[in-house]
């Protein structure tokens, strides 16, 4: 009966608190229930006190996935090709992989068919993101610079030909790039020159 109530709610993501409220039970009981359902494969544990209803996992929208990414590891924001794909300026799609940046740690989590991949970045470079609805995502310029930054260290594979550079502000890119190491700035200038975009 309790499981049926949860499924009828059509809510794919649950916490102990939301389970307790929905079923009208104490949080301690909800915690035991969540643990039991996770062991049975009914719920997928994303992290401490965050669960995904397996039977409803295919109903999770892109916005929900991005929001999940933000809260699985906090703080963080969506970046790299995941962000560029969101903006529609790359043909390189990271299917079932949500790429994000965090000042906390490099980490990845697997949940159902998705992988949440986090790359640690220096606190001085943790900027250039905005809030879109309920999730945080890099601006397109910052997402590209994050790609270049990690590429310069040999930690990211960037397919430059897949990116429509006409969709960027060269001035904004160069302004943001001043906070990045010299290697990143050199890669950016080479990219802009090859694309025929003038240096300001």
Q: pLDDT by residue (tens digit) across 75-86? A: 999 999 999 999
Mean pLDDT of 166-175: 92
The answer to whether the CB of 3 falls within 8 A of the CB of 42 is: yes
CA-based nearest residue to 3, from 29, 33, 32, 28? 33
Query: What pLDDT sits at residue 194?
Result: 84
- Dihedral through CA 95, CA 61, CA 76, CA 154, nearest 10? 10
Assigned CATH topology for domain 2-58: Arc Repressor Mutant, subunit A (1.10.10)
Query: What pLDDT sits at residue 2?
Result: 81
Q: Place 200 in a pLDDT band, splitting at 50, 70 and 90.
A: very low
Mean pLDDT rounded to a whole number for the chain: 90
Q: Report the alpha-carbon distance of residue 187 to residue 184 in Å, rounded.
A: 5
What pLDDT, in 10s, does the model give residues 33-57? Answer: 999 999 999 998 888 888 888 887 7
Ordered by start, the domain boundaries in the chain are: 2-58, 61-194
pLDDT of residue 199 exceeding 70, the answer is no
Query: What pLDDT sits at residue 167?
Result: 85
Q: Report the alpha-carbon distance of residue 146 to residue 121 in Å, rounded.
A: 9
Query: What pLDDT sits at residue 3?
Result: 79
What pLDDT, in 10s, does the model give residues 104-154? Answer: 999 988 887 889 999 999 999 999 999 999 999 999 999 999 999 999 999
Query: What pLDDT sits at residue 117?
Result: 96
Q: Report the alpha-carbon distance of residue 188 to residue 52 in Å, rounded.
A: 40
Q: How much of the chain, in percent, has pLDDT values that exceed 90?
A: 63
pLDDT of residue 65 exceeding 50, the answer is yes
Query: What pLDDT sits at residue 24?
Result: 92
Q: Report the alpha-carbon distance of residue 63 to residue 27 in Å, rounded.
A: 28
The answer to whether the CB of 125 falls within 8 A of the CB of 142 is: no
Strand partners, 132: 135
Query: What pLDDT sits at residue 110?
Result: 85
Query: What pLDDT sits at residue 132?
Result: 96
The answer to whether the CB of 107 falls within 8 A of the CB of 98 is: no
């Amino acid at each position: 009966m309790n499981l049926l109530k949860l499924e009828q709610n059509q809510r794919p993501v649950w916490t102990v608190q939301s389970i307790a409220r929905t079923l009208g039970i104490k949080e301690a009981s909800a915690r035991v229930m969540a643990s039991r359902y996770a062991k049975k494969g009914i719920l997928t544990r994303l992290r401490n006190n965050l669960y995904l209803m397996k039977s409803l996992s295919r109903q999770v929208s892109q916005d929900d996935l991005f929001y999940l990414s933000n809260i699985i590891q906090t703080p963080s924001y969506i970046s790299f090709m995941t962000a560029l794909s969101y903006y529609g300026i790359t043909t390189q799609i990271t299917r079932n992989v949500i790429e994000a940046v965090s000042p906390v740690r490099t980490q990845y989590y697997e949940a159902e068919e998705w992988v949440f991949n986090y790359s640690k970045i220096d606190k001085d470079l943790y900027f250039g993101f905005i809030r879109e609805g309920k999730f945080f995502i890099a601006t397109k310029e910052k997402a590209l610079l994050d790609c270049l930054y990690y590429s310069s260290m040999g930690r990211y594979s960037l397919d430059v030909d897949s990116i429509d550079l006409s969709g960027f502000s060269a001035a904004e890119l160069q302004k943001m790039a001043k906070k990045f190491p010299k290697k990143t700035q050199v890669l950016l200038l080479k990219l802009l020159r090859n694309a025929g975009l003038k240096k300001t």
